[in-house]
Amino acid sequence: MPQLISPHGSDDLKPLYVEDAEARGRLAEDAARLPALTISSAAAGNAVMLGGGYFTPLGGFMNKADAVSVAGTMRMHNGLFWPVPVLNMVEDRGVAAAGERIALRDPNVAGGPIIAVMDVEAIEELDDAEWTAIVEGIFGTADQNHPGVAEFAALGRIILSGPIEVLNFSYFRSDFPGTFRTAVEIRREIAERGWRRVVAFQTRNPMHRAHEELCRLAMERLDADGLVIHMLLGKLKPGDIPAHVREAAIRKMVELYFPANSVIVSGYGFDMLYAGPREALLHAVFRQNMGASHLIVGRDHAGVGDYYGAFDAQTVFDEIAADALDIEIFRADHTAYSKKLHKVVMMREASGHAQEDFVLLSGTRVREMLANGEAPPEEFSRPEVAQILMDHYRSP
């Protein structure tokens, strides 16, 4: 098998999921007798990512010192590059005691099954200054109109830190059996296909023709062996398209418009942060862990509203140390269909074009068209993809 890019900060992936069925069964029996805590959706997503090896080489939830350090310097106390704190935060200090072993219950599955077992090493509270520093470090703002800040503010200010062992992958394995994959599984499939140069494309939206062509351009220019379309399957903000609809639209696009065996369509179990530049760096970390050599970073990657500049998520990679990450990024401009060239292009590369020479539609306008049963222009969206989206918008 080909030699793939090394995982972040480690020679091997470090998934925290208990793979051995017998050991997992014993742990589940033990967990049923432990004090239990229902964690937040954000913490459950962190547990899923830790379990799947995406957050290699972390062994569990960070303590306050590491959280403050990561938010401020993007380094843990041991020197490891890490862009966003990985936390289990609660409102009540009395839910556990330091030195205690507890069961973590999943808030996203009926009945709150145990998702992981945690050895609580420390219970620490953030003061106002520490909380603000962490929030501003992650999101670049403390404005609670920012959906990521609002979500973070609801978590509480008590940090429970310590190693975990993961028992399951929440609802992602059952709800998305053909799509959800761990970093271990994706890395294995990349190796089995014989790919070495692999492009990853992050998406929380359906893919229109501009996204499709951007992936094709990146593959051609990087001489890549394959593409991994990696979609977020966790919680989004109100109004975003549900994961199962995005999945159907993306699979139809790949089936009809990409060469056979050139694309892996997969997804990961994590809630969107909308943290712009910091989230782009986090995306790079876990794409390196899953075996991708390159990540496409486009305009307003992982952004929301007007909180970040159009290309802040690209320039942040120029601000980190050269040894921070091994994965490289492919910098993409806004892509659009050129009426002059009769194809999708990166707008910065299209000389001699005025604004009216491009087919440009806002997300709001596209949603209005779909809701009215009106297909966007074929230059904007493949008709088969548009049909899936129209069916969704017309459904009760």
Q: Which residues are catalytic?
A: 204-205
Residues 6+ apart with CB under 8 A from 355: none
Q: CA 70 to CA 57: how far, in whole Å?
A: 15
Q: What does the radius of gyration of the chain's CA atoms come to, in whole angstroms?
A: 21
Rounded to whole angstroms, the Cα distance separating 58 from 230 reads: 21
The residues that bridge with 38 in the sheet, in sequence order, are: 105
d(CA 94, CA 156): 13
Say how far apart CA 105 and CA 95 lie, in whole Å. 13
Amino acid at 80: L
Alpha helix ranges (H) inside 140-171:
147-153
Reading the block at residue 86, the tokens are 């990985």
**Residue type present at position 145:** N
C-beta atoms surrounding 353 within 10 Å: 16
**DSSP state string for 221-287:** HTT-SEEEEEEE-S---TTSPPHHHHHHHHHHHHHHHS-TTSEEEEEE-------THHHHHHHHHHH
DSSP-assigned beta bridge partners for residue 335: 346
Q: How many CB atoms lie within 10 A of CB 321?
A: 9
Cβ-contact 254, 263 below 8 angstroms: yes
3-state secondary structure of 275: coil
Q: Are 347 and 353 in contact (CB under 8 A)?
A: yes
